Structure 1
Amino acid sequence: MPDAGPEPRRARRRRPARGGYAPTVAGGLERVCRPALTLPVRPRRAATFTGRRRPEGAILRVCGRGSAGRGSPCRGQRACCVALARGARVTGAGREEIGRNVDLGKSRIVLIGAGSIIFGPSTVRDILLSRALHGSEIVLVDVDGPGLEKVLAYARSLNEMAGAGCRFSATTDRRQALPGADFVIVSVAVDRERLWKLDWEIPLRHGIKHVLGENGGPGGLSHALRSIPLVLSIARDVEELAPQAWLLNFTNPMSRVCLALARHTRVKAVGLCHQIGYGYRLASGVLGLPKEQLAIRAAGLNHFTWILALTHRETGEDLYPEFRRRIAQMPDVEPLSQELDRVFGLFPATGDGHAGEYVGFAWKYMDLTGYDFAGYQERLERVHREVERIGAGDETLGREALSKDSGERAVAVMEALSDNLSRHEDALNLVNRGAIYNLPATALVEVPAHVANGQISGEAVGALPAGIAALCRREYEIQELAVEAAVRGDRQAALQALVLDPVVPDSATARAVLDELLRTHAAYLPQFA
């Protein structure tokens, strides 16, 4: 049969244009959705659409298909529908009225634990110092109503002094605060100082020589059994009421809490800890160089990270050898960390107090005095007075508070996520996924990270030295057992976590201390009832 040739193509049916980018008279680009209403957007901040930064002076077209995309063909994913969600008012089919102050950079930020006189005011101050977050809505949440009112007065007073244009409110009901949240920052604890003292004292009575009792050892387990259910209950509310939000966790024990979030929720979560800052302060003091001139690359587990590289930020010079030479002449400065460096080949970035929580012989290098609760109480009283004075309108003290940030990284991370920036962070707590090659992919690690395109990714740091990896793997297995114990009320998992812990001498001691901790904290541990 002769070849009939290719079948003629059907004429392609042209679909009406639904969107895209088109040039504007200002020489920029506009997002096109039809039908549309065109309006100028203030050029104060650059908004981001589908990964591109809108040039100054560009025109934004706002979709007319429905309020915030509800029931609309684009399902609210277009930048224009995000604009509707953040300021548009629908008055009829395909017709919107948009206020002049529409700004895609506005965020709704919920601070849970804001009544804490340390966490609440410092986070509020950091937000007000960020131009990128000016005009945002901040909801303060805490179960301590009177404490919350003090922080709210402080926030509103400081907001006026800073001219930040943020909107502050407060509630004791987090479910009321969560709908529409972009970011949920969590720093919570159950009667923190009083119960921490018990976590410190009870193991000592059983002959356990631990150095801090917050994140590792029996105290770390007890802390996790209280903290994990509390943070998981918050995360489940976030899943239900603000599934699009990022949860930024400051709650300790960091690794165990974040591991529980990864195992038992679907929230987008990241853990933030300032302890890398101690590594910078230590290196600065030893080398006699400003912190700003140093670059530290560290990795491991939270409060158990190790300095992989220490360089001069401007010249790239390797400063590790000189750091080691100088600190060796300071035998009283971080003696445990110096010994760990001699044995394993890397210097801990966290200081003896935290690294010692995961080392059985730490007590030989440190006094068994524990946390400075008296000093912390003095600090609390001082900050209380400052917060009350600023809340009452003390402008001198307020201006002083606005002269410096806290050093925490929550605002930097929120800026990068909300503005689609690309930003490096020295230390974030994430699921490993190969960042540290010789630790399990499912481990919760602290590594340098990259924030870009609305995502947070751990940077690949290679393999840790074999001995350090072994220490970290043991801690990871203990963390898994602690999470299982906290979530299921599994006494056997809790016992195994203690028997594996390097600061616990034997199984009989583990049983005795576990019994007393569970009995003492029974009111806060219903999962073990």
Structure 2
Amino acid sequence: MTKITFIGAGSTVFAKNLLGDILSFPELAGAEIALFDIDAQRLKTSEVVAHKVADALGAKPRILATTDRERALDGADYALNMIQVGGYKPATLIDFEIPKKYGLQQTIGDTLGIGGIMRALRTVPVLLAMARDMERLCPEVLHLNYVNPMAINCWALSRASSVRTVGLCHSVPHTAGELARDLGVPVGEITYRVAGINHVAFYLTFERRGEDLYPALRRIVDEGRVPETNRVRYEMLRRLGYFVTESSEHFSEYVPWFIKRSHPELVEAFNIPIDEYLRRCEFQIASWERMRALLEDPATRFRVEDTASEHTDHTPTDGSVRDEARLTEQLLTIKRSPEYGSLIIHSCETGEPRVVYGNVMNRGLIDNLPECCVEVPCLVDGNGVQPTKVGALPPQLAALMQTNVNVQALTVEAILTGRKEHLYHAAMFDPHTAAELSLEEIHDLVDDLLAAHGDWVPEAFRPPHRRELAL
């Protein structure tokens, strides 16, 4: 029996979507599902949801819910990781509020920038502890990581663990769906080739039945039809010639051009949602108790949409929307999501070939990037996940990616060696932070963040005398 372990299964909405994807495959409907979380209450909700998903799909999995990580991982064939270390409070709030005191604004703060650096500092040690368990309890496991900051986490795991890890992100199919809507064409008719680094990958080709769709995308810019939520990315298309996979809100904080104290008008002009992640979290927290009661209600049943097609609507199904009616509809509907996890597991188990996008180490895959974590097409079949060679990227794209790779490399080095100076270096070279703050301000900001995080960061990075900082 195939054993699939969910690490951080208390992320109930995301776990529900992945469970629906997995159990909709007849070949996986009888799998052993191990749900693990350190929060017993949220785990209980996810266990109830798992049984309801199985009932709705007519699946007969063996479901185990446990707060014992070793029990969950013992003998696992696949481990889906979706943890968040430190949560919204205190960790994410600290990552936003302290930089604000220095005039440094963020939108999401989970991938790069000072927020991404601090999230990595909290997260990588936990992932490495989990990897030690995997090496002992399930050494052949395929670790499918959904945890941000994606590139830093996967890079650190590749250096410090023997566990096979592939990082998974839904930005490639989500963006394909957005562009299909912008163009008025069915997403199932679109083919593309993407490469780069997570959240800074680009569509090298974007076609419909062999027709290049880039001229049509450029007409959207020329004719003033750019969606207001996507102004940053269409501007980058205009400047670089290619469309980036991650959302405008994310991408705006990976570069030095859009969020600037010296040009506050840019935030309005490009419709950049400062503090977006905080608002999203506040909405989800405010909605959770009602949603939990709904999910746990014995009378609640899930509705199954067509799960046969892998070309479904790629609107977010991860609880990120802030419309309660839509969120409720998402909660009570089972439909195939654009997440790659179930497709990888199904292909590995059945041998059915597919192409997905995975975050893996650059070992001969992209010629003009160094050895780092890259996002590239991967063939998946009975032989596992096999990254494919892309070759050289357009030089302007590689140059942009390298500014982010520098920060990732220094953060990984800091965490794995315990050398605090590399944490300062990572912040110094971050494009957005460097564009806004002086070297002295960057140094002080890092110190303040480390002091505020306290025991959430490794001991080597804790200041000798913790300062109490009012948020």
TM-score range, shorter chain: 0.7 to 0.9
Name the structure 2 match of 1:263: 159
Take 1:367 and 1:336, find their aligned partners in 2: how far apart are those partners? 8
Q: Shift of the alpha carbon at 1:123?
A: 2.1
Where in structure 2 are the equivalents of 1:419-498 lying within 5 Å? 419-425=350-356, 427-440=357-370, 442-498=371-427
Question: Which structure 2 residues correspond to residues 45-60 of structure 1 after superposition, within 5 A?
Answer: none
Deviations 1:80-120 (A, max 9, x none): xxxxxxxxxxxxxxxxxxxxxxxxxx310110100122222
**Structure with greater proportional helix content:** 2
Give the aligned partner of residue 243 of structure 2: 347
Deviation at 1:397, TM superposition (A): 3.5
Deviation at 1:372, TM superposition (A): 4.3
1:514 is aligned to 446
Query: Which ranges of structure 1 fall in alignment gaps of 5 or more residues?
Result: 1-105
Q: Is the 8 A contact 2:198 2:359 kept in 1?
A: yes
Counterpart residue type for residue 180 of structure 1: G
Question: What secondary structure is seen at the aligned counterpart in 2 of 1:374?
Answer: helix
SS of residue in 1 equivalent to 2:360: strand
Question: What's the CA shift for 1:360?
Answer: 0.8
Larger relative contact order, structure 1 or 2 (CA cutoff 8 Å, min sep 6): 2
2:215 maps to which of 295, 304, 321: 321
**Aligned equivalents of 1:403 and 1:293: distance in 2?**
23
Q: Is residue 211–residue 366 contact of structure 1 (8 Å, CA) maintained in 2? A: no
Against the structure 1 CA distance between its residues 375 and 480, is the aligned structure 2 distance closer, same or farther, given a 3 Å change threshold? closer
Task: Name the aligned partner's letter for residue 445 of structure 1.
Answer: V
Residue 175 (str. 1) matches residue 70 (str. 2): yes
SS of equivalent residue, structure 2 residue 216: helix
Seq. identity, % = 32
Following the alignment from structure 2 to structure 1, what is the Cα–Cα distance between the partners of residues 138 and 365?
29
More strand by share: 1
Q: Note the 1:112-511 alignment, pairs <5 A.
A: 112-194=7-89, 195-312=91-208, 315-328=209-222, 329-331=224-226, 332=228, 334-363=230-259, 364=266, 365-367=270-272, 369-379=274-284, 382=287, 385-386=290-291, 388-394=293-299, 396-397=301-302, 399=304, 401=332, 403-425=334-356, 427-440=357-370, 442-505=371-434, 506-511=438-443
Distance 1:163 1:217, change over 3 A: same
Alpha carbons 2:351, 2:382 under 8 Å: kept: yes
- Cα distance in structure 2, aligned partners of 1:412 and 1:219: 31
- Give the distance between the partners of 2:174 and 2:162, measured in 1 at CA: 32
Q: What are structure 2's unaligned runs of at least 5 residues?
A: 260-265, 306-331, 463-471
How far 1:172 sits from its partner (Å)? Answer: 0.6
- Counterpart amino acid of residue 496 in structure 1: H
Higher-Rg structure is: 1
Question: Aligned partner of 1:125: which letter?
Answer: G
Aligned 8 A contact 2:45 2:295 in 1: no
Deviations 1:137-183 (A, max 9, x none): 01100000111111112212332332211000111111112121100
State the distance in 1 between where 2:72 and 2:108 align.
35
Q: Give RMSD over aligned pairs.
A: 2.0
- How many residues get paired? 420
After TM superposition, the score normalised by the length of structure 2 is: 0.84
- Equivalent position SS for 1:243: coil
Shift of 1:248: 0.4
- Please give the per-residue CA displacement for 1:252-306, whole angstroms capped at 9, x wherever unaligned: 0001000011111000110000111331132112211121122222211111111
Contact 1:327 1:333 (C-alpha < 8 Å) held by counterparts: no
Q: Which amino acid aligns with 1:213?
A: G
Q: Distance in 2 between matches of 1:498 and 1:466?
A: 25
Query: Deviation string for 1:335-386 (max 9, x for gaps)?
Result: 2223322322212121212222220112133436222433444345656645
- Is the alpha carbon distance of 1:465 and 1:255 closer, same or farther for their aligned partners in structure 2, counting shifts above 3 Å? same
Structure 2 residue aligned with 1:108: 3
Taking the aligned partners of 1:476 and 1:502, their CA distance within structure 2 comes to: 11
Q: Shift of the alpha carbon at 1:444?
A: 0.4
> Which is worse superposed, 275-284 or 171-180?
275-284
Determine the C-alpha separation between the residues in 1 that align with 2:77 and 2:289: 29
Does the 8 Å CA contact 1:360/1:503 hold for their aligned counterparts? yes
Letter in 2 for 1:256: I
So what's the TM-score if we normalise by structure 1?
0.75
In the alignment, the residues of structure 2 paired with residue 386 and residue 128 of structure 1 have an alpha-carbon distance, to the nearest angstrom, of: 22
Say if 1:224 and 1:257, in contact at 8 Å, map to a contact too. yes
Report the secondary structure of 1:140's partner residue.
Answer: strand
